[in-house]
Structure 1
Amino acid sequence: MINFVPLLFFLSVCTAITIRSNETHTPPRIDVRVPQQRVEVYDNEVDFIDPITQATIPLSRVLVVDEPKEAIDRWFDWDETCTDKIDRGKITAAFKGALELAQHSSTFLKDLDDGLAGEGTKARRVSYIVTKDPAFTQMFYALDDRIGYVKESFDILLDKMTRYEGRGIDGADGVRFICDREGIIKDNEGGSYCGYEQPYTHTLLLYGISQKLTRTGLSRTGASAAQAIVNLPGDRGLGGIEEKYVFSHSHSMVFCPVFFNDDMFPNIDALAGTTEEMVPRTLDHLDCRERIMIHEWLHLKFTRNIPSIPDEIGFERAAKVAGKKPPGKPRKADWANAKINCDNYAWYAIYAYWNNERKGCGKDVWPAHIKKPNKP
């Protein structure tokens, strides 16, 4: 297991304060680079030919800068859109924080599983989980026989996020980070990849039947905006990313405009640098870039390969996914859907972390004004 430096807010989660600095961005364009930025050719990708200009663009070119080590070792690669140092800093911090949260989640789950050894009946085991881990209770319905799978998911992240070689999908081991703070990346139909200002309709051939599909609720800003999107190696499906970002040897991970919004998705250490009065310690105020990072990595083929549809986002929606209520019967666990919803894992990491680290600072961080869906 990798040894991490503790997250900044582990030290003073109840009383820390923060000072935010002004940001000065550089345009996210390939032709704007500072001297230490250069490109190198990796992976022997087939070149992309621009259909308008006929210019040849080597897909294998990635941006190389003097930092961070994680990029130098190719735990991820910077696309040439990531010329802005502030953007890269936010992404790198989220990557590191996600790894730390994954490690802590794995530890929490091991302790939870170990604690079940003295509990006999199924009812007693469930009662133990409900008492000890409200996060697992809501995100995975206190399923005592699924703790191992969820823990393994975080262990897979710890393994696959911290190396390039041997990720295990036959030469498509890379992860290309694409920075789209300005919303300029296109999908393969010419629309905005990260979202539309208006509903967008196209025709989809499904099971031999032509159907119109309207994307609604997607915009570049606001609560419903796309946060980040993964495209799998070689995936040219309808509505996917534009051709020049479809790689044979790498996943692409696009960070959308709202990802860079500090008010919507701060980094987790910035949340820690606030007082209770500034940011209430409840889940509706604790979303962060690290949650997005965990979510997106679970979509990758060499981690859990979780499909992008359905993709229920938000702690309350994730908790609702974990259970179902058949007509005329009590609500019960729905492992089949919780297992394939990335936010159940990502919100478990956030929820379990804050609950465990705040034992001396406050109560359960589930918001009091939102009813908990799951009562095993």
Structure 2
Amino acid sequence: MSTTSPASAPSPTGAPGTAPADADARVRCHLVGTVQPAACGVRDYGTLLARELRRRGLQVQEEWLPDDGRSARRTWRTALDLLARARSIPAGDVVLWQYASYNYAAHGVPMPGVLFGLLCRARGVRVVTVLHELSATWERRGAGRAVQALSQRAALLLVLAGTDVPVVTTDQRVGQLRRTTGRRARMVPVFSNVPVVAAGAGEAAGEAPAFTVGVFSWSGDLVDPDLLLRAVARLPGDGNRVLLLGAPGPGTAAAERWLQAARAAGVAGCVEFSGVVELEDLSVRLQECDVLVQLDSRGASSRRGTVAAALAHGKPLVTLTGADTWGALSDSSAVVEVTADPADLARALTALRQDPELRAGLGRRARAFYEATMSLPSAAAFFESLLRRRA
């Protein structure tokens, strides 16, 4: 599918700033990616970025090839289609390649689509690659997972060989690429794809009888429902609610896991589900929450759109400390960090429940951090500068 349309914020870490004097004002950019046919964060990211770059005067054409990676034959055909498109891009243009390792693989094993950048560069096309996912992690999950991890790591070397400028979404990945491949990468945090829409007036802060704790990304393997629900059981007052935001929704195995944990913690009935809703409705439901909690045991990462959405909405955010904790966010006083202990989490939530001013101040700092560091205009300013530079 192709779409075209006509159309300053601080630069992220490592951003080159304003475009140099010899920049080509008539940049022709091809934003290309293979993506999941259903809801796909990579496609949302690319579409929003392309729209903002067009607004800044760049000519951006989107090229999305849908593929779910479940059929080797179909993924092979998609890969060949992608390579054919590489041969049609005029020399001198720029490609903004959206790469996530599983999106270029069948059953986790890479297909020829990983050669897209090499073919572009061989024809004189400059390639800026956003590495959304580098490769599968090993995590001791058997021989199949090991094959995926090894093959995707090998494919990553081909992707980097076809890349003029690699862009990653965490500081940890900057270090990882330098250590394992010797390549220098730029880091740009992921922005929110959930628009902030006006919600109903509701009750004044601190006057609502219920205290609502919202949770994004609540179904992952690294999320422990028992941790939060045991903390909620310790909160003072009545009417404490846990609102699970977004997919997969009620009636699923993940939802049943939460309901069982709520019964075990003695807070049966406190868990609610927003279900899968449109982004505007998700924004409204998000704003119902007094506090948001990020339960990924790896910590709050700059690659998480859910973290970005919480900050963009100016909501108090409580996060776990972990290996992927983003240092800049941790140092900003824009979030509350706790250990993976119910008592520690309960203390943080109790303090926020009892002090509306504390919640309001944390929300203001969250929003300010997002605007300065993670926003779409900030990311677009970085990419605009890269794209306008001559090779």
Given the two structures, how large is their TM-score scaled by the length of structure 1?
0.29
Larger RCO, structures 1/2 (Cα 8 Å, 6+ apart): 1
Higher fraction of helix: 2
Given the two structures, how large is their TM-score scaled by the length of structure 2?
0.29
